[in-house]
Structure formats: structure tokens, C-alpha cells
Amino acid sequence: MTSNTIEFILDNKIHRISDPDPNETILNFIRLKLKKTGTKEGCAEGGCGACTVVLGELIDDDIYYKAINACIAFLPILNGKQLILVEDLVSPDGKLHPVQNAMVKFHGSQCGFCTPGFVMSMFAMFKNNYSLNDEIITDSLSGNLCRCTGYRPIINAAKSLNKKTDNDHFKKLKKKTINLLNKIKIKNIEIKNENKKYFAPKTINELKKILKKESQVKFLSGGTDISLEVTKARKEIKKIIYLNSIKELDFIKNKNNEIEIGAGTSLLKFEKYIKRFYSDFGVVLKRYGSVQIRNVGTIAGNIATASPIGDTLPLLLSLDAKILLDSAKKRITMPLNKFFISYRKTKLQEGQFIYSVKIPIYKKNIFKAYKISKRFDDDISSICGSFNVEIFKNQIKKIKIAYGGMSEIPKRALNTEKILINSNFTERTFSKATKSLEKDYSPIDDMRASKSYRMEVAKNLLMKCFLEVKNEKLLRLT
Ligand SMILES: Cc1cc2nc3c(=O)[nH]c(=O)nc-3n(C[C@H](O)[C@H](O)[C@H](O)COP(=O)(O)OP(=O)(O)OC[C@H]3O[C@@H](n4cnc5c(N)ncnc54)[C@H](O)[C@@H]3O)c2cc1C
Ligand code: FES
Ligand code: FES
């Protein structure tokens, strides 16, 4: 069944909109149409958290509360979800929510601009976690910026939260909300709004039918990159196919020493899984944007942007990942190192989409990855280096090295690898190899870092990898 009407829960009722503008952001809808102005606009590019709202989503008959940036999310993605705004936190009898109470008690509410966003991130954290600790708190709040008196009182407010007080009206109404979510979750969406079209198929078969009929479509997954074409570049996106409505694309499998991640898997879900196999992958992903970004952003979206500073790309390249590309005609497999052509250009053809990514599990290897950025949290890399090495009897048997931020595409350091393979695992070998990085890369020069800084840091990261592996149990250079 296909419908032109999106349905979502707002204020405990089903809210319906027929043929909404597919380029309208949730933030504009809230502020301009609903006239609810608690949710603020700061940066309009996902960087400050002032616009944070929470989406309630049905997962295994329970509700998962997802903090997102409303400024970079398009309205139709609300279909099938519950939209929770800061105005909804006060209970029907006028009592503040426990997270609001904590903010008042610990003087966490400092200015009216950032506070609603902080409250919403804290609300999602409070609802999703059975217990709280420092790591969960700093991670949950890392996407919300405060530039006045600081984070201490806000963090203290979060620390004071006790799950025993989770008897809020969302808990009391949970059964009703789940019933409503079950009622609205099953349609394909097809919207026509003036010159714009939006499709949200439920299955890959439906997607392929659309691809047979439509040309010049743009895929939308988490929207944390593509939405900026509208909010920042002020362009229109005329034809959108939303992929995150397809459940079949949201999976992680582990078979034959290979992990396969479906294109629609969120970066947050991927982070939780991959860190068991490659802990440094988890460390880099923790610093990828914010929880709001990782809640919706996908690994396929990161690959398809082909950004030279895309964080997962050097890591996937050094792990020799493959991607599965699908279309209305056929599914093919391609090594990731053959996928990038030039600056933000890939081999993806019209109508072709990324179905999944396959990452080999190397049991004998040591994997190291480092992200260097100006700010620790919620910042884009200046350089990202990744190293996958197999050593036997102090000899380097195999090594794969890749960097982001060092050329117009993320790529392997093939000359440097050649020098290292079959050499002794010594400081002298690595020191010599650092020089060959100059043959492998001619770094970009931009506001994030100069060319010479990038080259210097790339060399240092290679040495850092050597030192950490050599002194494995003794040292972690941060
Ligand atoms: C505040 C902020 C912080 C960020 N921080 C980081 C960071 O730390 N590190 C980093 O690497 N990036 C960062 N990004 C960039 C962005 O999050 C990533 O590029 C993200 O992975 C994109 O994924 P998405 O699912 O949101 O893609 P979308 O925005 O939905 O799509 C991006 C592109 O990929 C295409 N696409 C999406 N899915 C598919 C598919 N299955 N098949 C084919 N094409 C597809 C789209 O058509 C579009 O061209 C940040 C962005 C913001 C706004
Ligand atoms: S307004 Fe800054 S993250 Fe949305
Ligand atoms: S709370 Fe708004 S700048 Fe600090």
C-alpha cells in the first residue's frame, strides 16, 4: 500500500500531513507551522544542538528515544515515529520532567537558547539507559554547545538523575504510544509537492520498482550531509528516495570471518558492534559528530559522500573492506579502494545504491586508528590515519595503511606499505618509511590544517602506531 500522507505521533495523537514539502526541515515545521518556539535554531548545520528534538521509534516492541538535530532532518522522515518536543516534557498536570527539575536544581539552565537542546539530549539519555555513568553523560551531551558559563552545572544535573524517578508521563502512556506507533508503521510513502517528489519505500523490491521508473533521484539516508544542500547551500532537492525506511538495509551479520553491515545501519549501532573486533574503530566513531549525528547518519552515507575527511573511510580502506552495490538490474561487489575516483566523486552509477559493506575480521593482526581534529568532540578530522599490521617473529608480514585528509580522496599509502612489508619491525624501518609518505600524498591545504602540518602529523601517526604496537601493554599515546 502506498500513501501520500505521512503520519506521526505528536502530543499523544496521530498527526497527518498530506504531500508535505520534502525539503522542509522538521525545525521549520515546528517553529513556523506548529508555532512552538521552544526548539531553537543556532547553526542550522547540525553542529550546536540548539534544535535537538527526540524521535520515539518502535524497536522490538519497545520505544527507543533518538535525539536528532531537527535543523538538518526533513519533515517526511517523521512518518511512523513519535515526535517529542521540549514543550511536551512538562506532565499534563503541569509538573516539570525529572530532567528539567535536575537542570533547575543544579543551575544548569543558563541561557534560553541552548537549554532546550540540552534538556532534550538529557531526556533521551535518561529514557534509553538503565544506569548512567560519566561516559554516557559526556557522550550524550557532546552534541550540545554552551558558550557562556560552562558545562559543569549541566553535567552535575545529568549526574543527579536517578532511574528510579523514571515514572514520567511517557512511561505511563507507553502502552498507548506503542499501540499508536503500531497503527501507523506500514505504508510506502510517495509524495508530490509542486516540482518535488519524495519516496520512502518499505522494501528493496519497492525501491527497485521506483528506480525503474524514476531518474535523477537523490538517495537520503541519515541526511546529515545531503540536507546541508538545502539548509546551507539553499538549493532544492527535487527527487528524494529515503532509504532508512527500508528495514532490510538495517542489519549487521557476522559470517565466515567477515562482518557485513547493511547500508541503513546507524553509525551508533555500528559503533557498538565494531568495537568488539577493532577497538580503535569504536574510539574513532565515538568522536564522530555527536550522538544526534550518529543516531541517524549511516556508514553508507559516509562512504557515498567520498569526503577526503570522512572518518570511516581510511579505517575501512586499511581493513580492505568491500562494498555491495545494488540497482534495479544487478548486485555487484567492489573493493572500497576502487570506489573513489576524485574529490567527492565515486563509481556509483545512476540508480545504483550501496546495499552493504563487508569488513574482514583479521584475527592475527593489530589494528590502530587515530583521528586528529581541532576540537576533541563533535569535530571533523584534519587527518585520520589507520594501520592494519600482521607481525610474525618481529617481521612485518602484512601491512595496510590509509589516511584521510591527506589527498582529494581517502587512500592507501602504497609506497610506504611496500617499504614496510617483509622488513623488521624496528624503529629504524618505520623512521625510514615515514619519508615515503611524501611520495604517497600531496596533502590538501585548508582552514582545518596546512599542508605541512598534515604531512608532519601523518608521519608522527605512523611512528605512534609503531611505538604503541612495540610497547603494547605499557603505552597508549593520546
Ligand atoms: C554536525 C556534523 C558533524 C559531522 N561529523 C562528522 C565526523 O565527525 N566525521 C565524518 O566522517 N563525517 C561527519 N559528518 C558528515 C556526515 O555525518 C557524514 O558524511 C555521514 O556519514 C553521512 O551519512 P548519512 O547517512 O547522514 O548520509 P546522507 O546525508 O543521507 O547522504 C550523504 C550522501 O550519500 C548518498 N547516500 C546515502 N546513502 C546511500 C546509499 N545507501 N547508497 C548510495 N548513496 C547513498 C546520498 O545520496 C548523499 O549523496 C558530520 C556532519 C554534521 C552535520
Ligand atoms: S541549529 Fe545547531 S544543531 Fe541544529
Ligand atoms: S546555556 Fe546557552 S550559551 Fe551556555
**Phi, psi (5° rounding) for residue 386?**
-140, 135
- The confidence band for 455, taking pLDDT boundaries of 50, 70 and 90, is very high
Residue 348: DSSP 8-state: P
Proximal ligand: closest to the CA of 118: 3
Question: All domains of the chain, ordered by start, with CATH?
Answer: 1-184 (3.10.20.30), 247-360 (3.30.465.10), 366-470 (3.30.390.50)
Owner of C-alpha cell 503500531: 182
Q: What is the pLDDT of residues 254-281, one digit of tens each?
A: 999 999 999 999 999 999 999 999 999 9
- Which protein residues are within 6 Å of ligand 1, measured from CB? 45-47, 72, 218-226, 243, 263, 288-289, 293, 297-298, 300-302, 304-305, 310-311, 348, 353-354, 380
Beta strand spans in 146-284 (E): 188-193, 196-200, 218-220, 239-242, 252-255, 258-262
pTM of this structure:
0.96
What spacing in Å lies between the alpha carbon of 73 and ligand 2's midpoint? 10
Residues 50-74 have a mean pLDDT of 96
What does the pLDDT look like over 169-219, one tens digit per residue?
999 999 999 999 999 977 899 999 999 999 999 999 999 999 999 999 999
Residue 181 and residue 9 in contact, taking contact as beta carbons nearer than 8 Å = yes
Cα 337 to ligand 1 centre (Å): 19
Closest ligand 3 atom to 150 CA: 4
Rounded to an integer, what distance in angstroms lies between the CA atom of residue 124 and that of residue 430?
A: 46
Pocket residue to mutate for ligand 2, from 26, 30, 45, most atoms within 8 A of Cβ: 45
User: Separation of 69 CA from ligand 2 center, angstroms?
Assistant: 6
Q: How far is the CA of 70 from the centre of ligand 2 (A)?
A: 7
Tell me the pLDDT band of 476, cut-offs 50, 70 and 90: low
Beta strands 340-342; 345-346: pairing state: antiparallel
Q: Using most ligand atoms within 8 A of CB, pick from 51, 52, 225, 239 the residue to mutate for ligand 1.
A: 225
475 pLDDT exceeds 70? no
Give the model's confidence band at 473: pLDDT under 50 very low, under 70 low, under 90 confident, else very high: low
Name the pairing type of β-strands 411-412 and 395-404.
antiparallel
* pLDDT range class, residue 432, cuts 50, 70, 90: very high
pLDDT higher than 70, residue 158: yes
CA of 44 to the centre of ligand 2 (A): 5
Q: What is the pLDDT of residue 1?
A: 83
Tens digit of pLDDT for each residue in 135-153? 999 999 999 998 887 899 9
pLDDT of residue 477: 52
Contacts of 179 (CB under 8 A, 6+ apart): none
- Ligand number nearest CA of 312 is 1
CA of 222 to the centre of ligand 1 (A): 7
Average pLDDT over residues 356-376: 94
Q: Which atom of ligand 1 is nearest to the CA of 267?
A: 21
Q: Ligand 1 centroid vs 228 CA: distance in angstroms?
A: 10
d(CA 176, CA 126): 20
Ligand 3 pocket mutation, candidates 147, 152, 154, 155, criterion most atoms within 8 A of CB = 147
What are the pocket residues of ligand 3 if the criterion is a CB atom closer than 6 Å to any ligand atom?
Answer: 110-111, 113-115, 146-148
Mean pLDDT of 322-337: 97
Q: Residue 42 C-alpha to ligand 2 middle, in angstroms?
A: 5
Nearest atom in ligand 2 to the alpha carbon of residue 49 is: 3
- For 421, half-sphere exposure in the C-beta direction (CA atoms, 13 angstrom radius) is 11
- The C-alpha cell that represents 5 in the structure block: 500522507
Judge whether 423 and 439 are in contact, CB under 8 Å: no
Buried b (16+ CB within 10 A) or exposed e, 191-208: bebeebbbbbbbebebbb
